[in-house]
Amino acid sequence: MTTPFRLFSLPFLPLKKVLDNFGPQGIIILSLCSLRLKSIVVSYRGPSKNVRLTLDFGLQDSLEDSDESNSRILLRVEERKELPMDHNTMETVRVGSFEKVPVKMGDRFGRGKNLIIYWEDRMTGLAAIGDYGREIFNRDIYEVCIGGKKEDDDHRRAAEWVKNSQKTIQSLDCNFELKIDNDLDFILENFKYTHTLFLCVKPSENYIPAKLPNFQIDDLRVRNSFWIKQNHLITMNCKTITLYDSKLTNQDLNVFLKHWIAGGCSQLKDFYVAVQEQIDFDVVLDGVDFTEREIDLERVYVDKDGAEYTIMGSFDVKRSNITATVVDQPDVFWLIVCTSRLPVIPPSLLASPLFYYFIQSSSVSYPMTTPFHLFSLPYVPLKQVLDNVGPEALIIFSLCSLRSKSIVVSYRGPSKNVQLKLHFGSEDCLEDSNESCKNVLLRVEETRQLPTDHNTMETVKIGSFGRVPVRMEFLYLWDDNLWEDKQCLTMYWEDPITGVAAIGDYGREIFNQDIHEVRIVKKQANNDNSKYKPKIDEELDFILENFKCTGKLFLYVKPSEHYSPAKLPNFRIDTLDVHYSFWIKQKNLLAMNCKTIYLRDSKLKSQDFNAFLKHWMSGGCSKVKDFCVIIQEPVDYEIVFDGVEFIEREEDVERVYAGEDGYDFTVSGGYDVKRSNVTATITSQCPSHFWMIVW
């Protein structure tokens, strides 16, 4: 373990942490290196084993980690006749009871690198990697995929493997060209699937299953379903049923609808049938009590995969306290059952036209049910609506009336999971922000920016301020690595600072939490830059003294060349990031106790770093994990380490450091220093950087 794997010899990096970052493919390859490593991997528990295993017979011939949208090949099987010319020099591994099995890394149709294992008999190899995957990841195979047969007994051997290894599988996916109907009968009878069945197989025109298939599962999807008749339909009890190319008649659908109303197919949530015969709703709804919805009534449904569908009009039917909607489409019978599950409502539905409609109707005694058709659905509690509208729609909803504000303030749920950020100066807005994107909740503009038709604009009450003009506007925002047009609510104020303060107070009240971050930007003055510098110094002093920062401080302010803080700033926080740090001296450095310190454009010298290093080794700056300074002159390590005990690492020693922000860095060489049982490394990779990381 210490010789071939340098990474494992780090004195400060536990093996568990290494394995946590390997991922499933790295874990399974590592397990093949030796019996000792296999034992370690089998006993390991952590995120690298968070997999959903698929065993593919016939399509990819592989073991995969898959989800709804993509898959990653872990091991792949090929026959020995495909061995390359240099196979005598290839590595061999032990897989289960099979020894000296040839392996090599290969690339599969652009799906990245994966390990290929060569076998005399392909099906023996697939069974072996299936058993090996179950052993390594401590779980059963979730899904079996059945492709075309290469030998007559392929399907029989796949079924026997499932039966002998784990009895059942949760998901069965069949996708191949059927030559005889008996093959489909064999699969439906011999594979014990418990959750999902996906059939992309086309039997003969007059095919009838030899035995009634298992349709008592969660998810049934049949691509060529022309063989499914009414008697099959009545036996189904699935959450999701999707049938394409169906020959079911309007009378069959009428029988199924009555069957559901009477209590049949009790699990059903989503029933979608693409039929060859035009839907006749007079026949389908014959003898059924229903409520027809107007075509201008729009409702949004989200399926189990997260896809959104806008439903206009339709027919509502009920059984006991459960409502279902039959969608009005000519060539599809689509029944959606809504119980406690709420269709997710996009914030845009509440953030534009409905917002104004609500305000115009705010004089009604209980305005929440009348203007919002969406809220009048008999099966959608208001709490669940608010859970799904998100922070932007929630704050807009709160401005509609005092009643709606009261509801929002007392509401507790996921739409209030926000990190509030208040901007003073440039953007003048209240945001819900995280590390990767931002969502503007409210924005402030001066009243001189009011449009020409401002006399017809809506007004709202915010805090103690009444009749504040508002309108929805598009902003060009950077979000998720893209520039996007986004709508947000803009408020107009005589004094923008008053406005920003007001929306800050309002955000705290609505979301029941304090502002997490304040951003201060000085608007560009017309003053000459040299005359303006003393004013910058005064304002920087004011900010450092009067803003009580407890977590992070980012300073992108360039004071005058000889600036010195009037009082020692509070540098005992989690993160300190100073872009123009030439004013920070040794005394400031020794007063710091932060987890992360990042100083750019620094005038600190090697002697200062020597003093800081000795300060740290004697117990100072006890929280520090990452200390990086970009300086104006090269680091002299003889001065830095004067009087300090250290171990110099060779350049070919590479170590991986996981930063506080989640990014990994490879550290080559460096100097290790210690205090008690804590190790730190000073890297020497860049002469203009002093970088110290604490493991």
List Cβ neighbours of 659 (8 Å cut-off, separation of 6 or more). 626, 665
pLDDT at 14 over 60: yes
Alpha carbon distance 553, 588 (integer Å):
15
Average confidence score pLDDT of the chain: 81
Confidence (pLDDT) at 508: 92
- The confidence band for 355, taking pLDDT boundaries of 50, 70 and 90, is very low
Amino acid at 655: R
What is the band of 168 on the pLDDT scale with cuts at 50, 70, 90?
very high
For the cut 90, the answer to whether the pLDDT of residue 132 exceeds it is yes
Q: How confident is the model at residue 346 (pLDDT cuts 50, 70, 90)?
A: very low
Please state the rounded mean pLDDT for residues 511-518.
89
Q: pLDDT exceeding 90 applies to what percent of the chain? A: 32
Rounded Cα gap, residues 63 and 117, in angstroms: 11
What's the confidence (pLDDT) of residue 304? 72
The residue to which tokens 């039917």 are assigned: 317
Domain positions in the chain = 243-341, 347-407, 420-520, 538-694
Sign (positive or negative) of CA dihedral 608, 614, 618, 619: positive
Per-residue confidence (pLDDT) for residue 555, from 0 to 100: 86
Specify the pTM. Answer: 0.52
Q: How far apart are CA 51 and CA 24, in angstroms?
A: 7
SS3 119: strand
For residue 686, name the pLDDT band (cuts at 50, 70, 90).
Answer: confident
How many CA atoms, within 13 angstroms, populate the side-chain half-sphere of residue 684?
17
Q: What is the pLDDT of residues 213-224, one digit of tens each?
A: 999 999 999 999
Predicted pLDDT at 531: 37
CB-CB contact of 284 with 256 (8 Å):
no
pLDDT at 69: 60
Whether residue 80 has pLDDT greater than 80:
yes
Q: What DSSP designation does 8 have?
A: G
Q: In 256-288, which positions are buried (b, 16+ CB within 10 angstroms) versus exposed (e)?
A: bbeebbeebbeebbbbbbbbeeebebeebbeee
